[in-house]
Amino acid sequence: MKNSISIIIPAYKEEKFIEKTITDLVLACQKHSLDFELVIIIDKAPNDRTFEIVSDLSKIFLEIKIISREKKEGVSSAIQAGIKNAIKDVSIITVAGSHITANDVVLLAQKMNDGYDMVFGDRFSKRLKIPKYPITKLVANRLCNLTIKLLFGIKSNDITGGVKAYKTSLLKKIQFQSTGFEIFVEIPVNVFLQGNRNIGIMPITLHERDVLYSHFDIIHESPRYLKTIFRLYFQKLRRIPL
């Protein structure tokens, strides 16, 4: 039986890409006869039309569920709000800037039908290259992923990536502590530590424009990532019987 799908999309100042992102996702999901919803969490900003664009689209596509917030509250709280409001079997977390193709999202959804607890979109497959990915971010990313892989034994090359699919019921069990982009570490590691080890891997494509327009600030976010990784590692140690 096919899983139903909640696609969770945080959006802040995404008026350049949001219309195409949503339209492509809806049409791709409809084409493959998926039972789906789009949960779009919008942090409003002055002189930005993201909310207006999504509101107009919601009158055309009834699968859209809008959570609107009057100021910037951040990606972590947006994802948490999306998880809270998701009602389908599987939640796919993605981003508003068309970071991956709509077809990749469909493939993630279809792969979850094979019984996985979670499916990771992998930007670093040997067959794929990320154009114009800043070298400092690339080095930090590879070191961070290697550290997580060694500490927790998660067999993935892209544990920190923002595009993943999960059983919704597993996400609703998490007591979140993240306040920023480190939520993309907290979620998969937390689900893994719950004992859910059945992980699928699927190569995805990251587009050049999404590297250039990323909201991620490596200097600001790196300490949060490290703090989260070691907090979860000590949590893991406390679970090991003496």
Nearest one of 3, 85, 15 to 43, comparing CA atoms: 15
Rounded to whole angstroms, the Cα distance separating 7 from 25 reads 9
Rounded to whole angstroms, the Cα distance separating 159 from 141 reads 10
* Residue 117 lies in domain: 5-239
Determine whether 240 is exposed, middle or buried from the number of CB atoms within 10 Å of its CB (0-12, 13-18, 19+).
Answer: exposed
CATH number at residue 64: 3.90.550.10
What is the model's pLDDT at position 212? 42
Contact predicate 54/22, CB 8 Å = yes
195-238 pLDDT, tens digit each: 999 999 998 876 544 444 455 555 667 888 889 999 999 988 88
106-132 pLDDT, tens digit each: 999 999 999 999 999 888 775 555 666
Q: How many structural domains does the chain have?
A: 1
What is the model's pLDDT at position 41? 97
